[in-house]
A and B are shown apart, each in its own frame.
Chain A
Amino acid sequence: MKEFNILIAGSGGQGVQTIGKLMTEIGMEHGFEVSFIPSYGPEMRGGTSNCGVNISTEPIASPLVVTPTQLVALNLPSLDKFETSVVPGGSVIYDTDLIGRAPARTDVTYYGIPFTTLAEQLGVKANMLVSGKLLAVTGFCDPDGAESTIRALTAKRPAFFEPNMKALRAGFAL
C-alpha cells in the first residue's frame, strides 16, 4: 500500500486550495484513490487557509489529514501549528521567504525553498512551483505525467498551459 496524506497550509490568496485540488486531480488521473478536503468558513475571505489531500493505492478511509506524511507550510502560523503533527519520517516543504525560523524537528526531512523570490525571478506563480516540488517529494507522478491534467484544467484559458507547466517543471527540479 502506497499512501500520501498531504496537508497544505498558508494564507488566503496564496493558492493553497489550488495546490491541493491539483494534486488530487493528478492523483485521480493516475488511477489512485483520492480525496480533498478544504478548511471552510470565514477563512476563505482572508486569514488562514488549509486543505488535506489523500492519495493512496487503497480506498481512502478518513478524508481528514490529522497526521500528514507531507506538510506544505506557506506562512509561519501554518508551520507553528502543524509542524508537530507530521509523522516521523515525513517531510515538510516550506517557503523560506515567508518563514524566518529554523525547523524544530530532527525526525522529518525539511525542504526550505525561497518559493516567493524564485517565482518572481521566473515570472511564474509560487503555488505552481510548490506543486512541482510536492510532486518531486512524493514521487507519485512527474511533470510529464501531470501534463494532461494541466491541459484539462487550462482548457478554457489555453494561454495558461505553458506558464503552468514551466513552473511545475521548475518546482520539480528544485
Chain B
Amino acid sequence: MSDKILMKGNEALAEAAIRAGCRCFFGYPITPQTQLPEYMAKKMPKIGGTFLQSESEIAAINMVLGASAAGVRAMTSSSSPGISLKAEGISYLAGSDLPAVIVNIQRGGPGLGGIQPSQADYWQATRGLAHGDFRVLSLAPAGIQEAVDLMGTAFDLADKYRMPVMILGDGIIGQMMEPVRLPDPVTELPEKPWAAKGTRGARKHNILNSLYIQPEELERVVRERYERYAEVEKNEVRVETWLAEDADIIVTAYGSTARICRNAIRAARADGIKVGMVRPITLWPFPSAAYAEAAAHAKGFLDVEMSMGQMIDDVRLAIGCSRPVRFFGRTGGVVPTPAEIRAEIDALCKEVL
C-alpha cells in the first residue's frame, strides 16, 4: 500500500492550508482554481473554521485583511483577473504589515483572457502587484507535493516577516493530480502580540493601519519594512539546480514549465549536449546567485515561460547580461512542448557553442 494519496493541485493546496493552521478562507470562484474554494467550503465548517464566498474578489481580500488583523491564519485564492481585483487589498495588507497567503492559479491574459494555463502574471507577482513601495514573497511550485510543502512554508514566512506571501501556480498545477504525502497538522502557531484581538483591559490596544499622513513617519515605516525585506532576500531564497555543474547551456523556467523543460533537457543530454537547469522556487526573492554561479561556465541561457517573456528580465539582471539569454515562450493558454524546447536548445547551441 502506498502512504501517498492522489490529489488534484487545487484540493491539495486547500488541504495543506488547513493543515498549516489556516482557519479563514475568503474567495470567489474562477477557473482554473475553483476546486480550491470548493474544498474549503466542504472542509472548513467541519473543523470550526470559516469559509465565506464573498460577493467579489475585492471583498474577499479585505476579509482576509480583517481576519489577519485579528491574528488568524487567513488566505484567499483566485486566478489572474481575480488577482488584479485583489491588488488594492494586497497593498493594504503590506502597508499594515499583515501576514496573508494568496494563491494565484494563473490563466491567459490580459483582460478576461482565457482559462488555460499561463505564466503571464510574473511581473505582477514580483513587481507591480499594486501601488506603493512593497514586496510580496512569491513561491512557485512545479508539482503537487512541492505545492503542499510550500503552503506550510508560505504561512510560516507570512507570519515571520508579517507580509503577504503569494503561491504562484498555473492551470496545470491547479488541475493535475499527483501523489502527495500530506504533512501532519500544525499544533502550535506563533504568538501574535501585535494582533487586534481584544486587550481584556490588560494592555494598550493595538492599531493596524496603513495611513501615515506625515511624510517622515511614512518614510520611516517603509524603510523599516525594507529592512525586513532585506532579511527575506538574505534568508529565504529557494532554488533548484539540475545537471548544472558541467552545463554549457542553462535552461531556466519556473513552475510547471520547468517540468516540460526537463523532458527536453533529458533528450538533449542523451544526444551528448551538456544542458542543465536553474529553476527558481522563490520568484521574489529571485535566486540571482545561482544564475551568477552557472554563468561562470555556461555559454548561454534559454529562458522558457508561458508568457511573452517576463522572468527573462530577472535572468539578465542576475548574470549582468554577461551571456546571451535566448527566450522561448508560448502564451494565451498554449503550453510549450518538449520538442519545441529541444529545438530552441539546438538553436542556442548553434549560436554560442
Are B337 and A40 in contact, with the CB atoms below 8 A?
no
Q: How many residues of A contact B (CB 8 A)?
A: 21
Which B residues are CB-close (under 8 A) to A34? 6, 178-179
Which one, B177, B262, B337, contacts A36 given CB within 8 A? B177
Are B175 and A24 in contact, with the CB atoms below 8 A?
no
B208 at the interface (CB under 8 A from A): no
Given known contacts A61-B266, A66-B338, A38 and B175 CB-to-CB distance under 8 angstroms: yes
Given known contacts A28-B6, A63-B172, A64-B172, A35 and B335 CB-to-CB distance under 8 angstroms: no
Q: How many residues of B contact A (CB 8 A)?
A: 25
| A32 CB to nearest B CB, Å | 10
Which B residues are CB-close (under 8 A) to A61? 259-260, 262-263, 266
Which B residues are CB-close (under 8 A) to A25? 6
What's the Cα separation between A24 and B259 when bound, in Å? 18
Which B residues are CB-close (under 8 A) to A40? 31-32, 115, 171, 175
Please classify the interface of chain B as helix (H, G, I), strand (E, B), loop, or mixed, using the class held by over half of its residues: mixed
Are B179 and A64 in contact, with the CB atoms below 8 A?
no
Q: Which residue of A lies closest to B340 (CB)?
A: A66
| A18 CB to nearest B CB, Å | 13
Given known contacts A61-B262, A63-B172, A64-B172, A41 and B115 CB-to-CB distance under 8 angstroms: yes
Are A66 and B337 in contact, with the CB atoms below 8 A?
yes
Which A residues are CB-close (under 8 A) to B176? 35-38, 63
| A117 CB to nearest B CB, Å | 32
A31 at the interface (CB under 8 A from B): yes
Residue from B31, B259, B266 with most neighbouring chain A CB atoms (10 Å): B259
Q: B-facing mask of A53-90, CB < 8 A → 1, else 0?
A: 00000001111101100000000000000000000000
Which B residues are CB-close (under 8 A) to A24? 6, 177
Which B residues are CB-close (under 8 A) to A35? 176-178
Given known contacts A63-B256, A64-B335, A21 and B177 CB-to-CB distance under 8 angstroms: yes
Which one, B4, B31, B266, contacts A28 given CB within 8 A? B4
Contact residues of B with A, CB < 8 Å? 1-2, 4, 6, 31-32, 115-116, 171-172, 175-179, 256, 259-260, 262-263, 266, 335, 337-339
What are 29 sample pairs from A and B whose C-beta atoms fall under 8 A apart? Answer: A21-B6, A24-B6, A25-B6, A31-B2, A35-B177, A36-B6, A36-B176, A36-B177, A37-B172, A37-B176, A37-B177, A38-B175, A40-B31, A40-B32, A40-B175, A41-B31, A41-B115, A60-B178, A60-B259, A61-B260, A62-B259, A62-B262, A63-B172, A63-B176, A64-B172, A64-B335, A64-B337, A66-B339, A67-B339
